[in-house]
């Protein structure tokens, strides 16, 4: 199939995700839904992912093959069923009473916080265009399918696509016993969760050359763009109840947030690197977390249980997609809970009753019951089955898990974002109208919990790489920074009332605004310039693929392949050519891992490439049956050339393949 037909297939697949979510929202809220177009777009996609994941897991557990047809049926059939049930319910209710069942009695906010002036619309268009342009520029080179993490994830997606089954996440490892080395029986892998792979497998059904193309990275890029719109929408909703049109419009706060999340740090930010690097789970987390928070915020504020039901459903989707994001979300919930208690101590009982009433409503209860049945009778997330939770809780076991310093955190999140964000948080405590809003509790809980997890994980008994947690700070800090910057014109217009001596002339504020804007733009764009990728190793990547394809077409049943991870470009994608198991080919990992005393590992993969002609290396070759080796000639050719035990069967500028005689 041609590039164009693959692209059209990809767009068709993406459209199905949006359609599934949109139909579900129609089924739940009817035609007069309380969302803006931005929220509809983001929510539809997230819901579509959830519907697909749970449908595929359920069908897989029942032994039904996962094919293009079942993917389409899941994405369209289930939402259409919801619509049919709603329609049938409406007809029954209409016969009994002329009042529409859509009306729960609660007054729902509509899309009016998203109303904007002409200048604001132009600003939005400019910001989003700049964001897309910068990301396209970055991904034009960095988006080549070479990233290690993406290669691992795409292996499992290809496995689903080819086998039609939900994969069993396991791998064989090299172990030594009684002086002999061999490959163990498969052991479970807790790092992969099926929700990260099903969407890509589904998209691969619509494009024949999905995996070795731009499409996996483009899918992640779309998720990243949607996460920006999610934070944008959340910021508008959170500030809608605090600001009035006379002061600053919520839409302009959203614009400021978009400025801090979009064009600034477009290249260096963790989110951009996650897109090119294929850190799938984190990107899903960055999308789902603000969407869930927006739904829960609206559920609490507008007392609407349908929002809560959607929030619970998407939380469960995240639980089946990424364990770290789920843990972060859990801590955010706890942070928000404590913030509400802190800021509304006298209303704690009333709030508790409101939350209880919401949870005990039909929609959330239905979702919770379905979730429990699914969890216990269909499938659990992999990390629950393998007890991986216990490895994340406890005292930090390595120096990289003891927390970041403030300056390390600002490296990850951007100095402009962290300084303005923390200033905004502090300022919020001093402005009564902001302090007394539920929106501020949400942002305080969100930011506070992440700061605690990043800077002092030992206080929360967390044993997780601190820089991974720090990456989640970007969204709330951008939200706070945007709110602070958007509020500056409000202070410019302020006039003295009771305290004339506290009035600061407008010119000074204007000067301050320019300083702030200049600092933010300099900090963000400076990072962009230093992060533009140097000349991509395109030829090396192509040689790796050509070599893997050469070997795959000539592989015998008993061949065992070993490759190097340190110098070969795109080496983790080699397994997609063989599809003989996650651990095939065997791999010489990063050198420092062989010296890690906290996690001792086998030495055979190191010895077989580094010293193939010495006794230890030869023993490993004999015991494990490795007979094919893929290495970079610039670093690893000489030791094989000296040995008479190897033929060189493939020779290129950046790849040699040796066969053991």
Partner 1 sequence: MNENKSVANPLSNHLRNSLRGLEPDTRMILFCIALFLASAWFLAWKIDRDLRFAGDQDSFTIAFESRDSRSLGFFIQNHAADQTFTYKIARDKKIERTDKKFVPQGARESIPLPPIETGGKVSIVVESEGGQRQEIYR
Point out which residues bind partner 1 (CB under 8 A): 3, 6-7, 10-11, 36-38, 40-41, 111, 114-116, 121, 124-125, 128-129, 132-133, 135-136, 139-140, 143-145, 212-215, 217-218, 221-222, 225, 229, 536-543, 545-547, 550, 554, 556, 644, 647-655, 657, 659, 661
CB of 145 to partner 1, least distance (A): 8
Query: β-strand 561-564 against 586-588: which pairing, if any?
Result: parallel
Among the residues of 116-213, which ranges form H helices?
118-142, 148-163, 198-204
Burial class (CB in 10 A: 0-12, 13-18, 19+), 618: middle
- Residue entry with tokens 């407008």: 506
Closest C-alpha among 615, 655, 620, 618 to residue 635: 655
Closest C-alpha among 581, 563, 592 to residue 650: 563
CB of 261 to partner 1, least distance (A): 14
Contact 306, 363 (CB under 8 A): yes
Contact 503, 494 (CB under 8 A): yes
Phi, psi of 83 (to 5 degrees): -65, -40
CB of 48 to partner 1, least distance (A): 15
CB of 26 to partner 1, least distance (A): 15
Closer of 125 and 614 to partner 1 (Cβ): 125
CB of 79 to partner 1, least distance (A): 20
Phi, psi of 348 (to 5 degrees): -60, -45
Closer of 150 and 404 to partner 1 (Cβ): 150
CB of 139 to partner 1, least distance (A): 6
CB of 180 to partner 1, least distance (A): 27
Distance in angstroms (rounded) separating the CA atoms of residues 304 and 295: 10
Closer of 41 and 439 to partner 1 (Cβ): 41
Distance in angstroms (rounded) separating the CA atoms of residues 189 and 216: 22
Closer of 93 and 536 to partner 1 (Cβ): 536
- Preceding amide of 189 cis, omega within 30: no
**Residue 533 token pair:** 């990728």
Closer of 458 and 554 to partner 1 (Cβ): 554
CB of 495 to partner 1, least distance (A): 32
Closer of 305 and 547 to partner 1 (Cβ): 547
Closer of 405 and 651 to partner 1 (Cβ): 651
Burial class (CB in 10 A: 0-12, 13-18, 19+), 51: buried
Distance in angstroms (rounded) separating the CA atoms of residues 520 and 501: 30
Closer of 135 and 563 to partner 1 (Cβ): 135
CB of 235 to partner 1, least distance (A): 15
Closer of 229 and 336 to partner 1 (Cβ): 229
Distance in angstroms (rounded) separating the CA atoms of residues 324 and 330: 10
Closest C-alpha among 275, 286, 270 to residue 142: 275
Distance in angstroms (rounded) separating the CA atoms of residues 490 and 472: 29
**Residue 538 token pair:** 């395109």
CB of 396 to partner 1, least distance (A): 39
Is the dihedral angle over the CA atoms 319, 325, 330, 332 positive or is it negative?
negative
Instruction: Give strand pairing partners of 588.
Output: 564
Closer of 184 and 638 to partner 1 (Cβ): 638
């Amino acid at each position: 199939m041609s590039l164009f037909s693959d692209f059209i297939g990809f767009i068709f697949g993406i459209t199905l995700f949006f359609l599934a979510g949109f139909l579900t929202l129609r089924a739940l809220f009817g035609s007069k839904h309380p969302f803006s177009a931005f929220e509809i777009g983001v929510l539809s996609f997230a819901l579509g992912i959830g519907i697909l994941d749970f449908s595929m897991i359920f069908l897989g557990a029942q032994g039904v093959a996962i094919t293009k047809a079942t993917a389409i049926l899941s994405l369209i059939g289930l939402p259409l069923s919801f619509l049919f049930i709603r329609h049938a319910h409406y007809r029954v209710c209409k016969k009994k009473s002329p009042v529409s069942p859509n009306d729960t009695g609660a007054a729902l906010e509509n899309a009016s916080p998203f109303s904007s002036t002409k200048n604001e619309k132009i600003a939005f268009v400019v910001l989003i265009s700049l964001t897309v342009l910068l990301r396209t520029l970055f991904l034009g080179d960095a988006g080549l399918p070479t990233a290690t993490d993406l290669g691992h994830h795409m292996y499992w997606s290809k496995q689903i696509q080819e086998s039609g089954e939900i994969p069993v996440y396991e791998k064989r490892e090299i172990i030594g016993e009684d002086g002999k080395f061999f490959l163990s029986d498969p052991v479970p892998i807790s790092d992969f969760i099926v929700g990260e792979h099903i969407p890509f497998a589904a998209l691969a059904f619509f494009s024949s050359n999905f995996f070795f193309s731009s499409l996996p990275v483009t899918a992640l890029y779309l998720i990243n763009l949607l996460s920006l719109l999610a934070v944008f929408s959340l910021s508008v909703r959170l500030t809608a109840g605090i600001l009035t049109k006379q002061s600053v419009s919520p839409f302009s706060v959203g614009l400021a947030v978009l400025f801090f999340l979009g064009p600034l740090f477009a290249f260096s930010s963790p989110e951009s690197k996650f897109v090119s690097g294929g850190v799938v789970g984190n990107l899903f987390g960055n999308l789902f977390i603000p969407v869930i928070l927006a739904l829960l915020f609206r559920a609490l504020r507008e007392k609407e249980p349908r929002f809560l039901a959607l929030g619970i459903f998407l939380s469960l989707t995240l639980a089946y997609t990424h364990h770290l994001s789920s843990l972060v979300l859990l801590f955010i919930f706890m942070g928000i809970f404590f913030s509400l208690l802190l800021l509304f101590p006298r209303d704690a009982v009333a709030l508790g009753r409101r939350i209880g009433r919401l949870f005990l409503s039909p929609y959330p209860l239905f979702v919770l019951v379905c979730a429990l049945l699914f969890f216990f009778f269909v499938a659990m997330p992999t990390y629950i089955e393998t007890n991986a939770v216990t490895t994340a809780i406890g005292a930090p076991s390595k120096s990289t898990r003891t927390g970041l310093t403030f300056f390390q955190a600002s490296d990850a999140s951007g100095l402009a974002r962290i300084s303005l964000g923390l200033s905004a948080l502090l300022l919020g405590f001093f402005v009564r109208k902001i302090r007394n809003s539920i929106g501020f509790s949400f942002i305080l809980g969100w930011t506070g919990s992440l700061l605690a997890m990043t800077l002092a994980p030992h206080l929360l008994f967390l044993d997780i790489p601190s820089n991974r947690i720090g990456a989640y700070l970007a969204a709330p800090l951008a939200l706070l920074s945007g709110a602070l910057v958007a509020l500056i014109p409000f202070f410019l217009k302020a006039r003295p009332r009771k305290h004339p001596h506290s009035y600061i002339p407008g010119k000074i504020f204007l000067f301050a605004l320019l300083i702030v804007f200049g600092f933010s733009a300099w900090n963000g764009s400076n990072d962009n310039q230093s992060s533009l990728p140097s000349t991509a190793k395109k030829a090396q990547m192509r040689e790796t693929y050509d070599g893997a394809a050469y070997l795959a077409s000539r592989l015998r049943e008993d061949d065992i392949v070993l490759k190097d991870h340190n110098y070969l470009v795109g080496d983790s994608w080699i397994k997609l050519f063989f599809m003989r198991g996650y651990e095939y080919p065997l791999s010489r990992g990063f050198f420092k891992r062989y010296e890690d005393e906290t996690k001792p590992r086998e030495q055979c993969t190191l010895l077989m490439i580094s010293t193939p002609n010495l006794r230890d290396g030869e023993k490993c070759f004999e015991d494990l049956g490795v007979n094919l080796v893929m290495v970079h000639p610039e670093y690893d050719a000489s030791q094989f050339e000296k040995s008479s035990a190897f033929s060189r069967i493939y020779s290129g500028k950046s790849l040699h393949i040796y066969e053991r005689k």
